[in-house]
Amino acid sequence: MPFYVRSQSVVSRVIAGETLIIPVRKGVGDLASIYSLNPVASLIWQAIQQPREKEEIVSVIEQEFAGERAQIEHDIDEFLHEMRAAGLVEPLAKCVIGVPA
């Protein structure tokens, strides 16, 4: 199972309780592509600050938000897919003690 981690080509900040993500292209923030995350997505984003397997991410969300496990897994899959497509999240084949391999 792959691990997921934030791309190193983005910056993110929490401003007034809202998580904002800005892709960095050629050393400059792409202000035309700012992403604003809802509370669930913000928690996922926080969780993947370090490499995490999907199962770990699901557990983090289950601890904070009520919902059916199948729906949580589906929502996480969608989020990770969208973030990967935008280049904001990177999958890792494996990880050794929290360090990408």
Establish if 85 belongs to a structural domain.
Answer: yes
68 lies in some domain: yes
Which domain does 37 fall in, by range?
3-95
In a domain, 35, yes or no: yes
Look at residue 66 and tell me if it is in a domain.
yes
pTM of the predicted protein model = 0.82
CATH code of residue 65: 3.90.930
Confidence of residue 2 (pLDDT cuts 50, 70, 90): confident
Over residues 24-51, the pLDDT tens digits come to 876 655 666 789 999 999 999 999 999 9
* Residues linked to residue 20 through DSSP beta bridges, in sequence order: 13, 36
The answer to whether position 19 is within a domain reads: yes
pLDDT at 16: 87
What's the distance, CA 94 to chain centroid? 17
Task: Please give the tally of structural domains in the chain.
Answer: 1
Domain for residue 100, yes or no? no
